[in-house]
Amino acid sequence: MATLAAALALTTTIATVAGTTDLPPGDPSQGEALYRQYCTVCHGATGEGDGPNAPFLEDDRPRDLTDARYMARLTDRDLTEVIRGGGGGVGRSRFMPAWGNTLSPQEVGDVVTYTRALSRQPQRPMALPADPPAAAGARLVAELGCTGCHRIGDLPSAPVAPDLSRLGAKLQRPWLDAYLQQPHRVRPAGYVPLSRSRMPDFRLSPQESRQMTAYLIRLRPEGVLPVGSVQAPAEADGSALFQRLACRACHIFAERGGQAAPDLSLVSQRLQEAWVALYLLDPQAADPRSPMPRPGIAPGEASALSAYLYAGSLSSPPEGPDARDEEEATRGAALFRDLACRACHRRPDEDVPERVGPDLTFVGDKLHSEWLKVFLRKPHPVRAWLRARMPTFGLTDAEVEQVTAFLATLRDQGLPPLSPLLQAGGGASPDILQAGARLASREYLSCSSCHLGGDRSPEGPADEWAPDLRLAARRLRPEWIVRWLLDPQRLLQGTKMPSYFPDADSGPNDILDGDEERQILVLRDYLLVIGAAPAGLGP
């Protein structure tokens, strides 16, 4: 797992550099974290002024912070001043926001120290070599939040998505219902800036989505501020404020502006007006991880600004029926739990929840890469009895390749070698298949008493059901099937799959002379061919 952890080290820490500073040095690693959160969208990951939002700032380019000649001319006090007060405060571009209301003086000091280090790196490599696919895949898996639902060795599960616990005060009900049925990008730079986190598609039915909406829309903060409290008499001119605060540095509004934040032409469809006014007063109070700078305005100004946004945004949807249906909301709460929404939408104080998806620690031993690619593109139920489901992430082809390459590296190096016979290649002679079919049948090992397949459901309770064995040929690596039949507990502790062959005398004696190893091989070969046969699990 050590290599995994290394592949996942998303950040490189810049060594503190001694040099001429006129202020006490800050903490560069704190500074780096803050820089990633607040500055990369414009100044770029390496500081060269090439962040994804840079092309949208009209003619103002974000400064290249690696330009040593230029940066040497600025003292630490100059840097502090422009970071705290923004470009407008020092006669430079207003598209450089003011961070003094968001960052503490100590944090500004940390960012200054880190910013300095960016221009002091000895000759930076011209182009960073691209990650090999498996390493890019490891990074993606972390950024997409796969580990919220799957254990993958000891990979940590980082927070990747907004907190939903006060959603009822924020979103418009019809918007929420439509979004759950068809999630799309809201934050163009991602919720975690420049990560590839996204809201996956759970393939909710309209009914499930209505239930989920009924539940989420009830999540409101205790003792909400009365709407009147922010709507103080507003003498302020919202339009002038909007220009002065250069909100378009990050947001599109009326078809112009940046690509670092949600489209403000949609506020009236998406958001409740009282929430917007509160958010403008203090974005981090609504969400501590919001990368939006606190504008530092008075309540009256916030409501004027909010009113300006509503006047200029696309017309509101009709208020949806406020079905105060207790039952819908209760069902929605159960769905929220069963579908593991909390795998990604954790509150800051919540621990990692229990995992609902299969353990992927050694999935590279188990699954064929070709099957993985098909599944990741368009997940379909394997364990059809589960309420939980593998959501659709809308991965691009390149992302599918990367994630697959990474998953394929997840192998268990500690597996004991198989005996020479068990390594033998397969056969599909009628004899072999017949022996396999007999072994699997109800007269013998009765695989279909747990496994789905054929025309009848297994007789046991649903929490003991197991995947359709007709999928095995496409899904599973032949060597894994052998190991699984040999010792399922070794591969998956606690599994309900029986160990049929614990010792040399365990298989039925009237098939293949009671030779366990040959029985395992014929079962494997039988599984490898039944995928094509419609009849399923034999007699």
Site residues for ligand HEC, 176-205, by CB under 6 A, read: 176, 179-180, 185-187, 191, 197-200, 202
> Residue with structure tokens 């290394």?
6
Do residues 330 and 374 make contact, with C-beta atoms less than 8 angstroms apart?
no
383 CB contacts (<8 Å, ≥6 apart)?
465, 466, 467
Q: Which of 535, 537, 511, 534 has the alpha carbon at shortest distance from 432? A: 511
Binding mask 244-283 for ligand HEC (x = CB under 6 A): -x-x-xxx--------xxx-x--x--xx----x--xx---
Quick check: helix, strand or coil at residue 514?
A: helix
Binding of residue 362 to ligand HEC (CB under 6 A): no
Contact map string, positions 452 to 491, toward ligand HEC, x by CB under 6 A: ------------x-xx-x-xx--xx----x--x-------
Instruction: Using the minimum distance from each CB to ligand HEC, give the nearer residue, 149 or 194.
Output: 149
Q: What's the CA gap between 368 and 370, in Å, rounded?
A: 5
Does 82 contact ligand HEC by CB under 6 A? yes
* Kind plus residue range of the DSSP H or E element containing 180: helix 173-181
Asked if 99 touches ligand HEC (CB under 6 A), the answer is yes
Strand, coil or helix: 457: coil
- Closest CB to ligand HEC among residues 323, 497: 497
Region 205-224 residues binding ligand HEC, contact defined as CB under 6 A: 212
Q: How many CB atoms lie within 10 A of CB 528?
A: 20
Minimum CB distance to ligand HEC smaller for 187 or for 518: 187
Q: Is 476 helix (H, G, I), strand (E, B) or coil?
A: strand
Nearest one of 288, 292, 248, 262 to 175, comparing CA atoms: 262
| Segment 305 to 344, residues that bind ligand HEC, using CB under 6 A | 305, 336, 339-341, 343-344
Mark residues 407-426: x for contact with ligand HEC by CB under 6 A, - for none. --------------------
Find the binder of ligand HEC among 409, 434, 449, 499 (CB under 6 A).
449
The answer to the question of residue 403 lying near ligand HEC (CB under 6 A) is yes
Among the listed ranges 7-15, 82-90, 226-234, 505-513, the one in contact with ligand HEC (CB under 6 A) is 82-90
Which residues between 3 and 32 bind ligand HEC (CB under 6 A)? none
372 binds ligand HEC (CB under 6 A): yes
Strands 252-253 and 256-257: antiparallel
The CA dihedral of 218, 221, 227, 230, to the nearest 10 degrees, is -150
- 63 lies in the binding site for ligand HEC (CB under 6 A): yes
Alpha-carbon distances of 234 from 242, 281, 310, rounded to whole Å: 15, 14, 15
| Candidate list 45, 219, 333, 386; residue touching ligand HEC; CB under 6 A | 386
